Chains A and B, each alone.
Chain A
Amino acid sequence: EAQVTQNPRYLITVTGKKLTVTCSQNMNHEYMSWYRQDPGLGLRQIYYSMNVEVTDKGDVPEGYKVSRKEKRNFPLILESPSPNQTSLYFCASRPGYSADTQYFGPGTRLTVL
């Protein structure tokens, strides 16, 4: 089944404790991105990647890092999480940056205490 998977689905952590949210897609898509969803703000892009080893900042990149060493994986790294990073995170992929249909993962709900 074609899909985007994320792990973990739920995470509660404390301020300053490094964490990684994994994202994997099995559709051989070139373009992947991370979003955060907050009430009243919709989805905002954090980082994106057009292909392996090609990543760039989205609209809200502060406090996040990403890497794209393999085409299928695009992990989101929070080096020193803070409470304002408490949010619902979605990974997404699409065949290429100009392709239409974008597929989203199921989401990761992160709480930083």
Chain B
Amino acid sequence: GENVEQHPSTLSVQEGDSAVIKCTYSDSASNYFPWYKQELGKGPQLIIDIRSNVGEKKDQRIAVTLNKTAKHFSLHITETQPEDSAVYFCATRQPFGNEKLTFGTGTRLTIIP
């Protein structure tokens, strides 16, 4: 089955700096790659996603890049703000079966004011 590895597990950055979280996956059939943000006491919320036919997608301060050959994708947050502090999860989905999401182990991002 699919295996998703996420790094780093914790990340601290100064407010205003950029943060990058990287995920690698094992199943070359994966075709959908979402990123979720989980704030304290809440459920994960989709913040950005990308499909396998696209290399990069940007939404204001966040962007996701995908390298299908190397089987990795990354979340980039620029001009970080205190409200970006949260746990971030990457996930993949395969186009068969119940098309379940396979999640990474999460990255706790802390923005230092």
Contacts and interface: CB of A to CB of B under 8 A. Distances in A.
B89 interface: yes
A4 B43 CA distance: 10
Interface residues of B, number: 24
Interface string A60-85: 00000000000000000000000000
Interface in A95-113: 97-98, 100-102, 104-107
B44 A90 contact: yes
Interface residues of A, number: 25
Nearest to B45: A104
B105 A42 contact: yes
Contacts of A98: 95, 99
The B interface is mostly helix, strand or loop, or mixed, namely: loop
A50 B99 CA distance: 10
Interface centre among B9, B32, B43, B98 (most CB of A within 10 A): B43
Contacts, number: 53
B105 to A, nearest CB: 4
B44 to A, nearest CB: 5
Contact of A40 (B36, B43, B89, B105): B105
B41 A100 contact: no
A42 B106 contact: yes
Contact of B104 (A42, A90, A101): A42
A45 B46 contact: no
Nearest to A6: B43
Nearest to B90: A42
Contact of A104 (B1, B43, B106): B43
B3 to A, nearest CB: 11
A107 B42 contact: yes
A50 B46 contact: no
A59 B102 CA distance: 10
B43 A41 contact: no
Interface in A8-52: 31, 33, 40-45, 48, 50
Interface of B: 1, 4, 6, 9, 32, 34, 36, 41-46, 49, 89, 95, 98-101, 103-106
Given A42-B103, A101-B49, A104-B36, 4 more contacts: A42-B4, A100-B32, A100-B34, A106-B43
